[in-house]
């Protein structure tokens, strides 16, 4: 698979000249130009709201060049509008659920790295000291814990550190 190659050239005036695989990528409206302030909107437009991975190369006016990869993410499905009265979900649902949180911790992670929390219910980031902390809503675990699946895995996406913890 070949990633689209985006080249962003910063001009002396601060405007951005953008090409995708060698073809010009114009600003959304005639008379507008891409700027550093519109970089987020530019990247969203190129990556189709981060659903397409791309290779980015930024060429500064002083000759400095930066490169990066923007990874695609799974699109989040639209959430249905809230109704006045929620219907219970499953046999463990209560009419008014109050979250009961369980803390899971681990160490040995790279500071700031993305940590996968598996049964992948959530993600968290490592602290500046390399520690990770996840708060889990036990109502989301209903039915799973009843089947003796009371373990959580913390997986460092950069370091590869794996911590397995039994839930209390």
User: Is residue 4 within 8 Å of 52, Cβ to Cβ?
Assistant: yes
**Alpha helices (runs of H) in the chain, residue ranges in sequence order:** 39-47
> Is the pLDDT assigned to residue 84 strictly greater than 50?
no
pLDDT digit string, tens, across residues 119-131: 756 667 888 888 8
The chain-wide mean pLDDT, for the chain, equals: 79
Specify the DSSP class assigned to residue 108. Answer: -
- pLDDT tens digits, one per residue of 37-61: 888 888 888 888 777 888 999 999 8
At 142 the pLDDT is: 65
Q: Which residues contact 16 (CB under 8 A, 6 or more apart)?
A: 8, 9, 10, 33, 34, 35, 36, 38, 39, 42
The share of the chain scoring above pLDDT 70, in percent, equals 75
Q: Which residue has the higher pLDDT, 98 or 76?
A: 98
Interior CA angle at 126 toward 154 and 72, to 5°? 80
Question: What pairing do the DSSP bridges indicate for beta strands 23-24 and 132-137?
Answer: unpaired
State the Cα–Cα distance between residues 55 and 104, nearest whole angstrom.
35
Report H helices in 3-73.
Answer: 39-47
6 CB neighbour count, 10 Å cutoff: 21
Per-residue pLDDT reduced to its tens digit, 144-157: 654 445 678 888 88
Alpha carbon distance 129, 76 (integer Å):
31
The pTM score is 0.45
Domain boundaries defined on the chain: 5-70, 101-166
């Amino acid at each position: 698979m070949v990633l689209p190659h985006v080249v962003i050239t910063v001009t002396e005036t601060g405007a951005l000249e953008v090409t995708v695989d060698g073809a010009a990528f114009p600003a959304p409206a005639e008379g507008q130009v891409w700027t550093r302030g519109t970089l987020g909107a530019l990247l969203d437009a190129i990556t189709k709201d981060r659903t397409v991975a791309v290779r980015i190369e930024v060429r500064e006016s002083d000759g400095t060049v930066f490169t990066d990869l923007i990874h695609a993410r799974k699109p989040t499905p639209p959430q249905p509008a809230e109704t006045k009265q929620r219907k219970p979900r499953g046999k463990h649902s209560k009419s008014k659920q109050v979250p009961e949180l369980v803390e899971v911790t681990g160490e040995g992670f790279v500071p700031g790295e993305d940590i996968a929390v598996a049964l992948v219910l959530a993600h968290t980031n490592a602290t500046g000291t390399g520690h990770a902390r996840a708060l889990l809503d036990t109502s989301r675990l209903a039915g799973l814990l009843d089947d003796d699946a009371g373990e959580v895995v913390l997986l460092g996406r950069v370091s590869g550190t794996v911590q397995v913890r039994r839930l209390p």
